[in-house]
Structure 1
Amino acid sequence: MKTLSRRGLFGVACLACGGGHMGLTATPVQAQQRWSPPEAAQRCPSRWGPNDRRGSMNLQTPERAQAAARLIRTGQMVELGHVLAPTMPFFGTRRFDLHTKRTFMNPEPNRRGSNEEIVITEIGQVGTQLDAFPHQTIGDQVYNCVDLPSISGRSGFTEMGVHTIGTVMTRGVLIDVAGAKGVPVLGDDYEITVADLEQALSRQNMQIAEGDAVIIHTGWGTLWGRDNARYVRSCPGIGVAAAEWIIQRNPILMGSDNWPVECAPSKTMPDASLPVHQLALVAHGVHLLENMKLDEMARRPEREFAFVMQPLKVQGGSGSTVAPTAML
């Protein structure tokens, strides 16, 4: 595999872009490529240096938060996270169960009752969720070629846990690929190309800037809680070439209304398991925001907004359920 530069972009470019109008079925793939993740010498040290553990979160600065605040014009807020409930789509043994602890009546004469609940769940990888770097590896290495065994503990990861990410407040950009294609939902295995992204951004008269939260609307979120079996079976999303194109513009994170952000399974690289996960989280240190609720934002005219999100402070966690907000 040929690399563009040591700290540049890696992977094999998509040769089967499947352009044109996209309905609920995908255009046949014309060519397929074998994809291998970049070797350690190609991806390390990161652009932030050999000791960096924050990746793209280095772009979260006070100046960027101030610039995002200036995008708030009406004070309206659009929630971009799904409600956590047992009716969510799940993979494998993941679950979410809430058990109410019914009213405990305190003994004082004012009759103060208290209600609580017990939640049994995999808190980092259910619902609308942000992936931390230890969530994915290339072999036994995570971001910046840190050996996973060296940071793995019985009670979480000792480095790069989700509790280290902190509050994100930056410019959010919604790239409405489904809207640009004139459909409510992209096809079940449609792989978004660079041309698709450029078409949607041109239609919106927008560009991606460094430090943006880049959010991609596929329409797949409309299946959430309605057809969970189809939701998890496959999904439209960005391919490796499209991911490289976005990462080249230095986003703070990439998100989408599907479960992996990327197309799954990959159309152009079918022998690779979620290659964009390795490319983003491991090779470049860019967090992924999955299972977003984008239906309301897709109906609105705004495509630029102040994006606000904070992961739960789960010590050493591989990720966190989150409730991001678009402030308009």
Structure 2
Amino acid sequence: MRRITLGLALSAALLASPSLHAQQAASGWSPPPESERCPSKWGAGDERGSANHMKPESVRKAAALIKTGEVVELGHTLSGSIPFFGTRRFDVHTKRTFANTAPNNRGSNEEIVITEIGQVGTQLDGFAHQTHGNSFYNCFKVDETATRTGFTKLGIDKVGMLMGRGVLIDVAASKGVEMLPDNYEITVEDLEAALEKQGTTLQPGDAIVINTGWGKLWGKDNARYVKTCPGIGVAAALWLAEKDPMLLGADNWPVEVAPNPDPKLSLPVHQIALVVNGIHLLENMKLEELAAKKVHEFAFMMQPIKVQGGTGSAVAPVAVH
């Protein structure tokens, strides 16, 4: 009887405290086997994952949040001076295409851009970007879908326009700092405290964006920006995934803490979101203005570039409130 009572008490504690459940699940985390994650909740063969939240009803609900009509841009300007990783680059070369003579003397200019368009600047990660071994989201296989001209499944072109309720979780403000420390792991308790302080609750289909303050380094100290960063850890990612968001974003480069506190793990939140749960990640967001204005709920709008079979897309999301 004592064992049963203790078991019931523990179960009750876990149900009452999802943060405790997530924290325990985070211990020694590894991607679940395909038998536990496939087919996805969106159905066998689905390629859109959390983008399936985009429906007429979500658009109407988001539009109802617009009270002032003010637009806050959440994307950084693309240029050759932004932070990069490895051989990623963004080069712009302008060219004169026409210099016509009289009577109207029309001139024309164009540019050639040399870049990795899916993984630079403010960017949306698609499902072809990350794997667990040979396996993508919904158990599509790398060796069955990869071609020299793009992936035949899970391309960023499948995402489409996304509009829904946006929620800013300002963890930096909740802790009374302008910027969280280098490689600080945001916990479930941090997220809960910030939401409570803001008076904000999460709903299925939200575009959840997290302000760490790390974006203040963008274009000012690029070396530090890309070296490490504060962000959500495994437990917080599991907890957020249970909230069924449309996407997870942040003002850092991987959304998650980097490097992970567990030296054996390499960007596990990327696998939790993209591979296991089919939730898009929105990286390198510009959140200073939104945070300064304390806009915690807004209409979120964004559309990726339709790169057929692409792994991601540079984007220019906006918040309208």
**TM-score of the pair, normalised by structure 2:** 0.91
Tell me by how many angstroms 1:59 deviates: 1.0
1:256-295 to 2 correspondence within 5 Å? 256-267=250-261, 269-295=262-288
1:144-293 to 2 correspondence within 5 Å? 144-267=138-261, 269-293=262-286
Structure 1 unaligned residues grouped into runs of 5+: 1-8, 16-31
Tell me by how many angstroms 1:301 deviates: 2.4
The CA deviation string for residues 171-215 of structure 1, in whole angstroms up to 9 with x for no partner, is 000000000000000010100000000000000111110000000
2:306 to 297, 300, 313: 313
Tell me by how many angstroms 1:100 deviates: 1.0
1:327 equivalent to 2:313? Answer no
Aligned with 2:52: secondary structure?
helix
The residue identity in structure 2 corresponding to 1:96 is: F
The CA deviation string for residues 276-318 of structure 1, in whole angstroms up to 9 with x for no partner, is 0001000000000000000000100220000000000111110
Structure 2 unaligned residues grouped into runs of 5+: 1-17
CA contact (8 A) 2:231 2:255 kept: yes
Aligned with 2:92: secondary structure?
strand
Residue 36 of structure 2 aligns with which residue? 42
Return the alpha-carbon distance in structure 2 between the equivalents of residues 176 and 270 of structure 1: 27
The CA deviation string for residues 91-132 of structure 1, in whole angstroms up to 9 with x for no partner, is 000000001113630245211000111110000000000000
Q: How high is the sequence identity, in percent, across the aligned residues?
A: 61
The residue identity in structure 1 corresponding to 2:317 is: P
Return the alpha-carbon distance in structure 2 between the equivalents of residues 144 and 108 of structure 1: 60
Residue 134 of structure 1 aligns with which residue? 128
The residue identity in structure 2 corresponding to 1:141 is: S
Aligned with 1:307: secondary structure?
strand
The residue identity in structure 2 corresponding to 1:128 is: T
Tell me by how many angstroms 1:159 deviates: 1.3
Residue 97 of structure 1 aligns with which residue? 91
Tell me by how many angstroms 1:33 deviates: 4.4
What is the aligned residue count? 301
Structure number, greater radius of gyration = 2
Q: Which has the higher helix share?
A: 2
CA contact (8 A) 1:193 1:238 kept: yes
Return the alpha-carbon distance in structure 2 between the equivalents of residues 84 and 308 of structure 1: 19
**TM-score of the pair, normalised by structure 1:** 0.89
1:18-33 to 2 correspondence within 5 Å? 33=27
Q: Alpha carbon RMSD of aligned pairs, Å? A: 1.5
Aligned with 1:116: secondary structure?
strand
CA contact (8 A) 2:90 2:116 kept: yes
CA contact (8 A) 1:65 1:169 kept: yes
CA contact (8 A) 2:29 2:234 kept: no
Return the alpha-carbon distance in structure 2 between the equivalents of residues 210 and 141 of structure 1: 26
Question: Which sits farther off after the overlay, 44-53 or 289-298?
Answer: 44-53
The residue identity in structure 2 corresponding to 1:292 is: M
CA contact (8 A) 2:47 2:158 kept: no
1:301 equivalent to 2:301? Answer no
Return the alpha-carbon distance in structure 2 between the equivalents of residues 88 and 249 of structure 1: 33
